[in-house]
Structure 1
Amino acid sequence: MLENIFQYIDLHQNEFIQSLKEWVAIESDSVQPLPHFRQEIFKMMDIAADKLRHLGAAVDSIDMGHQELPDGQNLPIPPILLAELGNDPKKPTVCFYGHLDVQPAKKEDGWHTDPFTLVEVDGKLYGRGATDNKGPVLAWINAVGAFQALNQDIPVNIKFIIEGMEEAGSVSLDKLVEREKDRFFSNVDYIVISDNLWISKKKPALTYGTRGNIYFTVEVKCREQDFHSGTFGGILNEPMADLVSLLGSLVDSSGHILIPGIYDNVTPLSEEEKKMYETIDLNLEEYQNSSQVEKFLFDTKEEILMHLWRYPSLSIHGIEGAFDEPGAKTVIPAQVIGKFSIRLVPHMNISVVETQVKKHLEDIFSQRNSSNKLKVTMMLGVHPWIANIHDIQYIAARRAIKTVFGVDPDMIRDGSTIPIAKTFQDIIQKSVMMLPLGAVDDGEHSQNEKINRYNYIEGSKLFAAFFLEVAKMHS
């Protein structure tokens, strides 16, 4: 059966690329809160709904209401699509999550081509959204369509949840998932997300974990009005000096976080996990060159991957209220706000880390005997996600990857934060897997985003093979 499916996908790959071209042409930018872009997202969701109905799926376009923005705008939130195809109780039900909104893009940002015109150069399909996430969504649809075109029974029941606000924080998605857990999601066995990348240009990967994120602001305030450094310099506690001292106390030059207790709940490294790092396809020299970094903090592939994926990191992002323009201004800022975040790993607890951070900063501040006021605020907290790589879905995906690509996948984590995986895991309480299609150099979010023709077409085959493998394993 698979041979016929694969042959069909190969023969129709130009049609599949044409579909991607039509989807990339829609400027479904959710980051810029402008009516024009919201209309484009609505248009994108309507086109996707029609595509799913053409497959024979029952599609529910859920009205998500309106979004009140800080500038007073009241913009409609694009609908979330819930679609289902097949309800055979003897088959497992697989739910695919994807998003059809994109990051902003303009040719003058440094694109070689118009970002909303899909252009193929040397087997690379350039266009905004090609890999993040329109290509993978279409690859899943391509796989389903191949079974139907050949009158082959699809071995699983299929469900889709597709949104249009992922790049803007998935507005109201978690509420919808909670609301639908006993209806739409009640018979779902497996959830697949394809919204990240391989760690290699050529070797496929399976992702089993992401880091969480906790974001803080640190405000040091003396008064409302700034000071002249000639009039007040040397006779008061300067807020900027206090803040720089506080920020400098968070992490050392080797990247080690200096907050007491922060590593206490980090999961110990097992022998099984340690061995997985050894087989991962990462060319360290190529990785370093492409990053344009003279030297990393660690010398081996294993150490770098572990500090990207399985250990926490702390990054300082900026200072609000500081003079940051050209020229020499001799002001003493009266109030400054530092911003930093910590990437969390299993089994770090957000509330525990929040307490540790606040206590550390308050202790350091008290040692300075400053007369200024300190305020530490946690702005955002997202838990890390980790999956069981030995569950049926992961075994099935590994087999499907071996069938299509002829190799075992790299078993990887993602150092960034993808909240929807944890949302599904906590609310639906079923197996969640991240099955990426794109190569490491796809440039999601950046100029000249692309997906390789090879990845897009072979990815369509991968999803078809996965349907068969997960059905076999489930039964």
Structure 2
Amino acid sequence: MTAPKQFASYVDANAESYIQRLAKAVAIPSVSGDAKYRQHVFDMADFLVNEMRSLGINVHKVDLGKHVLDGEELQLPPAILGSIGNDPKKKTILLYAHYDVQPALLSDGWDHEPFRLTPDPKTGRLYGRGASDDKGPLLGWLNVVEAHVKSNIELPVNLKFCFEGMEESGSDGLDDLIKAESPKGKFFDGVHAVCISDNYWLNDRTPCLTYGLRGISYYKVSVSGPARDLHSGVFGNTVHEPMTDLIHLLGKLVTPTGEIKIPGLANLVAPLTEEERKRYEVIDYSVADVEHSAGARVAISDDKVRVLTGRMREPSLSIHGIEGAFSAPGAKTSVAKTTSKGKFSIRLVPDMTPELVDPIVINYLEGEFAKLNSKNKLKIENLHGGKPWVTDPGHWNYKAAIKATETIYKKTPDLTREGGSIPVTLTFAEALGVNVLLLPMGRGDDGAHSTNEKLDRSNYIEGTKLLGTYLHEVGAISIV
């Protein structure tokens, strides 16, 4: 069921006011990962609560407690829970988004003040931190409600909202809230499906729906030995050097072509079915798209399917950095510091979990270290982890989104799995026992987390129509 024509007409007629709403949101520097900005995150929560109440949404803030950031105890930003409609004959759809953003400074290389929405009339781009991730999509839902309320169009479903202010910093406190509010009689009771708009098209031309995300296990490897820095001319070839041991271990993790060298991990990966392989073959994406995004011709393979499966449904191992190494100008000749530390992560896919992966990784590194016969000491830590998520793209929730996308963009969306992680997706799926849909608004070149983040005006306005049309398609589907 396509949304009424009055809905799209209202969106078009009020496009400028929607952009002004986004400008107000972008102007609030709601950076969750920096204590200096914490009050601004609370200001953003207040802004949203006021906007939601003005549209007739029943809304309240939930205290999530405190946490420690850079040694300072801080109040966590509140979760915002809201609802509109309680018709038992209608489905209830839960909408999730986040209102915090990544740090951004003009000195980072931005062409405009990052916390001032800057339209480019020539390209239609709306530049500003959070425009695409995730304030534009979040406000898209409020735009949808406004268009219905002010056009006297009945909402086709009951809506519940869950907005958080810590997604960019680990979603502290949110998992516990979701689990506490999931039992019968609690806030999330009665939800039929979840929709999240916190991801992006693969490119700048073809919309997509995402039905899977990779998880992560993040490790720190420490090798310690000498009690102090040592002179390489005096102690070189005399003592076991921590940095030498560390580099050897890191070199045992992954090949230059991305093959993980840790035995046993590949056995945990769910096999690729023929049906899934066909999805990768028809996705509108190419090796050239990969290299355009990377800024250089560095793709591991010229085979599109190999590249896509490497990003979406195979594990990857990335080495992120080394601590304790000399990196200043000049030519210091000391043996590396008493403890050398390396950090790496493995992106997990079904059926891998941190609980299964950790012992394999730790045993492998301990075994390789033992082969060195080094008198240094090894310590391996898992700093954080999250499970992968995958769902059925044949579910009615996805069928509704496919129809809505075809209506708005005149294209059938690609069905994708993503290489990154949104841990709350799995939390909703497990706690509520319902299907979760990732329905993106932005494009693959939006530059989320980067300098000059943007959201195209057309994606913001047409994306608002997409979100509303999706709700009407959902409302029209009969489920048993």
Q: Same fold (TM over 0.5)?
A: yes
Tell me how far 1:273 sits from its aligned partner: 1.0
Contact 2:81 2:162 in 1 (8 A): yes
Unpaired runs of 5+ residues, structure 2, are none
1:118 corresponds in structure 2 to 117
Following the alignment from structure 1 to structure 2, what is the Cα–Cα distance between the partners of residues 115 and 298?
A: 36
Q: 1:127 is aligned with what amino acid?
A: G
Q: Which residue is equivalent to 1:31? A: 33
Match of 2:224 among 221, 234, 250: 221
CA contact (8 A) 2:293 2:445 kept: no
**In structure 1, which of residues 398, 405, 409 is the aligned counterpart of residue 409 of structure 2?**
405
Q: Per the alignment, in what secondary structure is the counterpart of residue 339 of structure 1?
A: strand
Show the 5 A alignment for 1:456-471. 456-471=460-475
Question: Could you say which residue in structure 2 is the equivalent of 1:161?
Answer: 162
Correspondence 1:374 to 2:375: no
Q: Specify the alignment match of 2:279 in structure 1.
A: 276
Matched, 1:239 2:242: yes
For residues 408-430 of structure 1, give each alpha carbon's deviation from its aligned partner in whole angstroms, at most 9, with x where no partner exists.
00111110111111111121221
Match of 1:361 among 365, 369, 376: 365
Task: Spell out, residue by residue over 1:316-336, the C-alpha distance to the aligned partner (whole angstroms, 9 max, x if none).
Answer: 111111112111111112211
Structure 2 residue 349 is the aligned partner of structure 1 residue 348? no
SS of 1:264's partner is helix
Q: Deviations over 1:194-245 (max 9, x none)?
A: 1111002021110011110001111111133121112211111111111111
Contact 1:224 1:335 in 2 (8 A): no
The alpha carbon displacement at 1:8 in A equals 1.1
- Partner SS state of residue 133, structure 2: helix
Write the distance in 2 (CA, Å) between the matches of 1:74 and 1:215.
Answer: 24
Question: How far apart are 1:283 and its partner, in Å?
Answer: 3.8
Task: State the partner residue of 1:455.
Answer: 459
**Counterpart in the other structure of 1:54:** 54
Match of 1:144 in 2: 145
What CA distance in whole angstroms lies between the structure 1 residues aligned with 2:270 and 2:226?
44
Q: 1:188 aligns with which of 187, 191, 197?
A: 191
State the partner residue of 1:204. Answer: 207
Work out the CA distance in 2 between the residues paired with 1:83 and 1:279. Answer: 39
Q: 2:292 aligns with which of 272, 281, 289?
A: 289
- Moved runs in structure 1, 4+ residues, more than 3 A? none
Amino acid at match of 1:260: P
CA distance in 1, matches of 2:289, 2:401: 28
The answer for unaligned runs of 5 or more in structure 1 is none
Could you say which residue in structure 1 is the equivalent of 2:313?
310
TM-score normalised by structure 1 residue count: 0.97
Cα displacement (A) at 1:286: 4.2
Q: Give, in whole Å, the separation in 2 of the partners of 1:297 and 1:229.
A: 38
1:69 lines up with 2:72 in the alignment: no
Q: Match of 1:455, as an amino acid?
A: N
For 1:41 and 1:379, how far apart are their aligned partners in 2?
26
The 1-side partners of 2:394 and 2:340 are apart by 49
**Equivalent position SS for 2:477:** helix
Q: Which residue of 1 aligns with 2:88?
A: 89
Given residue 88 of structure 2, which amino acid in structure 1 is its aligned partner? P
Kept in 1, the 8 Å contact 2:320–2:344? The answer is yes
The number of residues matched between the two structures is 472
Distance 2:329 2:312 in 1: 38
SS of match in other structure, 2:32: coil
Aligned-pair distance for 1:64?
1.9
Residue of structure 1 equivalent to 2:258: 255
Q: Greater shift after overlay, 248-257 or 279-288?
A: 279-288
Q: Distance in 2 between matches of 1:252 and 1:68?
A: 38
Once the two structures are superposed, what CA deviation does each residue of 1:123-154 show, in whole Å capped at 9, x if it has no partner?
A: 11111110000100111111111111111110
- 2:287–2:307 Cα contact (<8 Å) kept: no
Q: Does 2:105 match 1:103?
A: no
CA separation in 1, counterparts of 2:467 and 2:478?
Answer: 16
Higher alpha-carbon deviation: 224-233 or 268-277? 224-233
The residue aligned with 2:9 is: 7
Q: Judge conservation of contact 1:93–1:189 (CA < 8 Å) in 2.
A: yes
Q: Does 2:130 match 1:129? A: yes
Structure 1 position 315, deviation (Å): 0.5
Q: Which has the larger displacement, 269-278 or 255-264?
A: 269-278
What amino acid maps onto 1:413 in structure 2?
A: R
TM-score (norm 2): 0.96
Deviation string 1:27-70 (CA, Å, 9 cap, x unpaired) is 11112122xx1111111101100111111111111122222334
- Of 222, 233, 237, 1:230 maps to 233
The answer to whether the 8 A contact 1:393-1:433 is kept is yes
Letter matched to residue 63 of structure 1: D
SS of the equivalent of 2:94 reads strand
Looking at structure 2, the residues matched to 474 and 159 of structure 1 have their Cα atoms a distance apart, in angstroms, of 20
Bigger shift: residues 215-224 or 340-349: 215-224
Per-residue Cα deviation, 1:288-318 (whole angstroms, up to 9, x for no partner): 1341223311112211110011100001111
